[in-house]
């Protein structure tokens, strides 16, 4: 009976996890780069970087998203991502707009967010500080998850918000009460989730207006042709604007 139970447990574990991914910590990472503060602590799929570790081998989830947690001195944040088997990922200090960066060592790619607005009103989709758009009721938008060049592979916070979020009053340089306006704008966010792009993932956003939450679904990966077109469209858009 015990042998059967052990076999069942091993099969359950094998069906949940595939092979491993390797996470390399290049150096200790501090909030805003300030070594006067306690370094960040990282946990991937429940496995924690120990004090003197620089390499972590993480069993990856075959049929679900992978997860990781980042702990500051007094708070922590949870993120989801999708590792690939036998890949190496490098974890390093971020720049001004990100405390840390995690990217694939080979062929890292940002991906796209897909959202079909199934509600009866227009909504705003925000994928990064650079990629936002209005999604008309019944329509679909696909946005590239681009970030600044130095912090391209930081976690991406995906928002569904009221369309007023994009109002000019929140972006005008004439407004001086930044904190008040920022709080007011944040109140227009209806639901959020964090995703960390690594391999050009296509991530579908599923919004539940009753619960005011969003779930994410992996719809595959950008092909070389799709990725090149996405980058070309992005350059064209920025040149026009």
Q: Is the pLDDT of residue 10 over 70?
A: no
Give the whole-number percent of the chain exceeding pLDDT 90: 65
d(CA 13, CA 4): 14
pLDDT of residue 34: 85
Could you write out the DSSP letters of every residue in 181-204?
HHHHHHTTEEEEEEEE--B-EEEE
Q: Is the pLDDT of residue 83 over 90?
A: yes
For 144-179, what is each residue's pLDDT tens digit? 998 776 778 999 999 999 999 998 888 766 656 778
Q: DSSP 3-state helix, strand, coil percentages of the chain (rounded to 5)?
A: 20, 40, 40
Structural contact between residues 114 and 219, judged by C-beta atoms closer than 8 angstroms? yes
pLDDT of residue 173: 61
pLDDT of residue 106: 94
pLDDT of residue 11: 45
d(CA 227, CA 241): 21
Q: Is 17 exposed, middle or buried (0-12, 13-18, 19+ CB in 10 A)?
A: middle
Q: Is 221 exposed, middle or buried (0-12, 13-18, 19+ CB in 10 A)?
A: middle
For 100-141, what is each residue's pLDDT tens digit? 999 999 999 999 999 999 999 999 999 987 789 999 999 999
pLDDT of residue 33: 80
pLDDT of residue 168: 85
pLDDT of residue 208: 96
Taking all residues of the chain, what is their mean pLDDT, rounded to a whole number?
Answer: 87
Lookup: tokens for 162: 């009221």
Q: Is 93 exposed, middle or buried (0-12, 13-18, 19+ CB in 10 A)?
A: middle
Annotated domain spans of the chain: 2-104, 112-240
Strands annotated E in the chain: 17-25, 41-44, 47-48, 55-61, 66-71, 76-81, 88-93, 100-104, 112-116, 123-126, 132-135, 140-144, 156-161, 189-196, 201-208, 213-221
pLDDT of residue 96: 73
For 15-44, what is each residue's pLDDT tens digit? 444 599 999 999 899 988 888 889 999 999
Confidence of residue 6 (pLDDT cuts 50, 70, 90): very low
Mean pLDDT of 194-208: 97
pLDDT of residue 3: 54
């Amino acid at each position: 009976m015990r042998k059967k139970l052990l076999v069942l447990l091993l099969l359950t574990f094998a069906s949940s996890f595939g092979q491993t991914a390797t996470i390399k910590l290049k150096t200790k990472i501090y909030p805003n780069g300030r070594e006067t503060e306690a370094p960040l602590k990282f946990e991937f799929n429940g496995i924690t970087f120990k004090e003197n570790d620089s390499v972590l081998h993480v069993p990856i989830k075959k049929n679900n998203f992978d997860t990781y947690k980042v702990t500051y001195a007094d708070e922590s944040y949870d993120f989801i991502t999708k590792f690939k088997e036998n890949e190496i990922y490098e974890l390093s200090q971020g720049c001004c707009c990100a405390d840390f960066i995690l990217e694939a060592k080979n062929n890292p790619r940002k991906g796209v967010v897909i959202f079909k607005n199934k509600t009866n009103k227009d909504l705003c989709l925000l994928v990064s500080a650079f990629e936002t758009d209005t999604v008309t009721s019944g329509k679909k938008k696909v946005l590239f998850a681009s970030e600044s060049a130095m912090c391209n592979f930081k976690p991406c916070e995906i928002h569904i918000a009221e369309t007023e979020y994009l109002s000019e009053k929140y972006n005008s340089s004439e407004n001086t009460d930044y904190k008040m306006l920022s709080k007011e704008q944040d109140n227009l966010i209806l639901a959020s989730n964090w995703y960390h792009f690594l391999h050009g993932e296509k991530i579908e956003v599923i919004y539940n207006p009753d619960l005011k939450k969003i779930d994410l679904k992996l719809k595959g990966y950008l092909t070389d042709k799709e990725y090149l077109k996405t980058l070309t469209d992005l350059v064209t858009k920025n040149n026009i604007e």
